[in-house]
Amino acid sequence: MNTKLIAVVLLWTASSAWAQLAPAHEAVLELKVEAADVVVRGTVQDVHRHEAGQLQEVTVTVKVLETIKGENRSSIEFTDSEINPSNGYSIFKEGYFNSWRTGGYEFLWFLRKPGAGQSSFSSF
């Protein structure tokens, strides 16, 4: 009898805690949308890794399924850069993005327009 009562109390406590966390998640989403120049829903279409001396870049092309903020387009490209290639993180990122491509997963992408000297969007 006491075991069942404890289980019910634990479930009720967990659901109450989740309800309190939801508004914080919504606030973070609103801040990301506000800070982004472009927000799209899309799938990874192509992934390339480039090396330039100490700099390694992973360039990702996203097939746009829906534009939420910014100019409408059929695809968008962004670059993720890393200065220290010795740790293999860019190879890890390339594999991760490729797994999303082959899986056909849809994501919300929050991107900033290229700054001076940059050729593609950047993620954050």
Token pair of 89 as six digits: 């993180």
User: Taking the complete model, does pTM exceed 0.95, yes or no?
Assistant: no
Q: Taking a C-beta distance cutoff of 8 angstroms, is the pair 84, 51 a contact? A: no
Closest of 117, 105, 108 to residue 76, by C-alpha: 108
Q: Cα(51)–Cα(23) distance, rounded to whole angstroms?
A: 41
Read off the pLDDT of each residue in 90-106 and give the average, rounded to a whole number. Answer: 85
Closest of 86, 11, 85, 81 to residue 48, by C-alpha: 81
Q: pLDDT class for 112, splitting at 50, 70, 90?
A: confident
Instruction: For the domain covering 36-123, report its CATH number.
Output: 2.40.50.110
Per-residue pLDDT reduced to its tens digit, 65-84: 999 999 999 999 988 877 66
What is the sign of the dihedral through the CA atoms of 105, 96, 78 and 24? positive
Q: Taking a C-beta distance cutoff of 8 angstroms, is the pair 77, 118 a contact? A: no
Q: Taking a C-beta distance cutoff of 8 angstroms, is the pair 89, 82 a contact? A: yes
Per-residue pLDDT reduced to its tens digit, 14-68: 333 434 445 566 678 888 889 899 999 999 999 988 877 777 888 899 999 999 9
How many CB atoms are closer than 10 A to CB 69? 13
